[in-house]
């Protein structure tokens, strides 16, 4: 089971990695890589297609600097925007990326009014809202990639700490995609064993803090860009759950309408993904401290939304 066509918007590191992974997993018959930089998407798309005989995939990869080839795409992964540099927060990207995402969203609505949108551009929760408002799509068809990435980082750090297989670690990270995210230690286990039985609270707290700063840690190393392998893998995992109707429960940024006692904002929560996009939001029991942390994260998202309104 696969889609007929998936479009990736933005041919930078994240977008190009997304298109390559989509093709290698054969999640669509055609993958279109779109970017306003003439020649870049065409060159990367052709390069990826030329890897097909080696990797053994038949998905056609095309590059374009307009949306003509994207018409009728069933799913869009939006990575367009400027990347963070050292010293920049995700919120520093606010005004520039909001304008880019708004323009992209209008094009998506024009060429594929029934499409599903996976938002990757930062600040992610706010960009998902910009896309939903610009397209007019229902919440089922606009989902933000945040929790999958944040949870992957959390799991990877736990695996390093315990020297165990990544496959045995189950975890959940909720909240906004930023320093206020909420890794839930109470829902973290290794082959069913609660994390608290394997690590001291001090070590768990350190892993939680490293997870919150995970994106910044990579930016500090790279100096001229931000993470792209793990973000791309996370977006493609969401796409796979949707186009294959796998009905996976993954932490994603979803538009809340009463869930967790919150309304009218995108926030990372457990989401069941399948045919049509967001099938439902799963509500889990939270301790008082976890709920307070989630509400604090929601407040940070709302403050950024207000900041954007003040800028426009």
Cα distances (Å, whole numbers) of residue 143 to 82, 211, 279, 295, 311? 20, 21, 11, 20, 24
| Phi, psi angles (nearest 5°) of residue 122 | -100, 155
Kind and range of the H or E element at 8? strand 3-9
| Phi, psi angles (nearest 5°) of residue 118 | -105, 115
C-beta separation of 151 from 173 below 8 A: yes
Strands (E), 79-204: 116-119, 142-144, 169-170, 173-174, 182-183, 189-190, 193-194
Residue 177 known to be catalytic: yes
Q: Quick count: other Cβ atoms within 10 Å of Cβ 138?
A: 12
Q: Which of 154, 128, 149 is nearest to 277 (CA)?
A: 128
Catalytic residue among 13, 102, 177, 221: 177
Active site residues: 177
């Amino acid at each position: 089971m696969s889609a007929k066509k998936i479009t990736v918007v933005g041919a930078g590191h994240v977008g190009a990695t997304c298109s390559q992974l989509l093709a290698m997993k054969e999640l669509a018959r055609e993958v279109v890589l779109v970017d306003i930089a003439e020649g870049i998407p065409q060159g990367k798309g052709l390069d990826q297609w030329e890897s097909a005989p080696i990797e053994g995939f038949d998905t056609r990869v095309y590059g374009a600097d307009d949306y003509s080839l994207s018409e009728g795409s069933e799913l869009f992964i939006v990575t367009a925007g400027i990347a963070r540099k050292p010293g920049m927060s995700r919120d520093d990207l606010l005004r520039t990326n909001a304008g880019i995402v708004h323009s992209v969203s209008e094009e998506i609505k024009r060429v594929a009014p029934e499409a599903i949108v996976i938002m990757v551009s930062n600040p992610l929760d706010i960009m998902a809202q910009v896309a939903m408002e610009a397209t007019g799509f229902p919440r089922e068809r606009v989902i933000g990639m945040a929790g999958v990435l944040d949870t992957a980082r959390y799991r990877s750090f736990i695996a390093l700490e315990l020297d165990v297989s990544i496959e045995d670690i189950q975890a959940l990270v909720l909240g906004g995609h930023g320093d206020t995210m909420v890794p839930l230690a109470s829902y973290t286990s290794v082959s069913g064993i609660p994390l608290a039985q394997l690590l001291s609270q001090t070590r768990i707290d350190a892993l939680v803090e490293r997870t919150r700063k995970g994106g910044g840690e990579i930016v500090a190393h790279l100096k001229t860009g931000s993470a792209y392998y793990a973000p791309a893998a996370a977006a493609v995992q969401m796409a796979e759950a949707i186009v294959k109707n796998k009905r996976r429960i993954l932490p994603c940024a979803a538009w809340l309408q009463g869930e967790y006692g919150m309304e009218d904002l995108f926030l990372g929560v457990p989401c069941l993904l399948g045919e049509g996009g967001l099938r439902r939001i799963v509500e889990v029991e939270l301790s008082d401290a976890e709920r307070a942390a989630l509400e604090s994260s929601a407040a940070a998202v709302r403050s950024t939304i207000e900041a954007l309104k003040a800028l426009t």
